[in-house]
Amino acid sequence: MRSIDWKKIKGFIFDLDGVVYRGNKPIITATKKINELIKKNYKVTFLTNNSTKSQKEFCKKIIKCGININSRFIITTSVATANFIAKKYKKGSNIYVVGSRALKNEIKRKKFKISKKNVKAVVAGLDTNINYEKITVASNILRKGKLLIATNPDKILPNEKGFQPGAGSIIQSIIEATGPKLKKIFIGKPNIFLIKEALKVMKLNKKNVVLVGDQLETDILAAKNFNMKSILVETGVPNNSKKIKASLKLKSLKNLFIE
C-alpha cells in the first residue's frame, strides 16, 4: 500500500463489470466498501467499457446493488463514442453501427443517422444479436477506407455463471474479416478518454484519484497510460499479463484499508 499516498487521494473511479457486480449479482464486499468511501466524503465515479446500457440504465443497476449515485457520475463508452463521432463528423452523416440499442441511441442523440449506405464510419461494440450479415456489411464498408470506431477491446465479461464474450471478441471478427489495411480507434480503456471524462465530472486532478478495475489490459493499463494510481481487484476476469502492474492488488475491495 506504500505505492499510494492516501493523504493525496480525494476520489475513486470504479469499473463496473467484475468490480461492482457480476452480471446482475452485486459484489457485496465492493458495495459495502464503496458506501464507506462515500460516507467518508471521497468523490466516487463509475466508468465502464460496456456500451449496452444508457447512463440511466447503469444508474438503476448500481442503485439496485445498494449504492446511491447520480447518473452524471457514470461514464460509458456509448456516450464517449457518440461524443467522439460528434467532434469528427458533420451532423446528419450516416454511421453504420454494430452494437446495442443504447449505443445507437447515443449516436442518434448527437444527430447522426444509422445506415448501411453512404457511411462515414463504422461503430462497433457489444452486440448480443451479432450475425454473419452484420460482420459482412461492416467489413465491406471498412475495406473502402472508412474508420472503425470501436467501443472497447474487452474479450470477455464476467457474469453470475462465469464469463461471456465481450465487445472485443465481436470487434476482432470484424477486424479479421477486413484485413491489414484497416483504420481503427478504440474509445474505451486502455484509451484515456473515459478517465478524462470522469475527472471532469469529479472536478479533481488525476494525482488525487485512484482507478479501481479488474482487468490489467484495459483498466490498469488505462491508468498506467494516464500516469495515475490504480488498484486491481480479483473479483472479475482472470489476468495473465506480467508486464502490466497496478499500484495495489487486492483479492476484493474488502481488503482495502486506507492508511
The domain ranges of the chain are 6-76+190-255, 78-186
Q: Which residues contact 130 (CB under 8 A, 6 or more apart)?
A: 98, 170, 173
**Tens digits of per-residue pLDDT, 57-94?**
999 999 999 999 999 999 999 999 999 999 999 999 99
Rg (CA), the chain: 18
Residue 230 makes CB contacts below 8 A (sequence gap 6+) with: 210, 211, 212, 213, 219, 220, 223, 224, 246, 247, 248
Q: What is the pLDDT of residues 3-17, one digit of tens each?
A: 899 999 999 999 999
Range 192-206 average pLDDT: 95
Is there a shared CATH topology between the 6-76+190-255 domain and the 78-186 domain?
yes
User: Which CATH number does 6-76+190-255 carry?
Assistant: 3.40.50.1000
Considering the domain delimited by 78-186, tell me its CATH architecture. Answer: 3-Layer(aba) Sandwich (3.40)
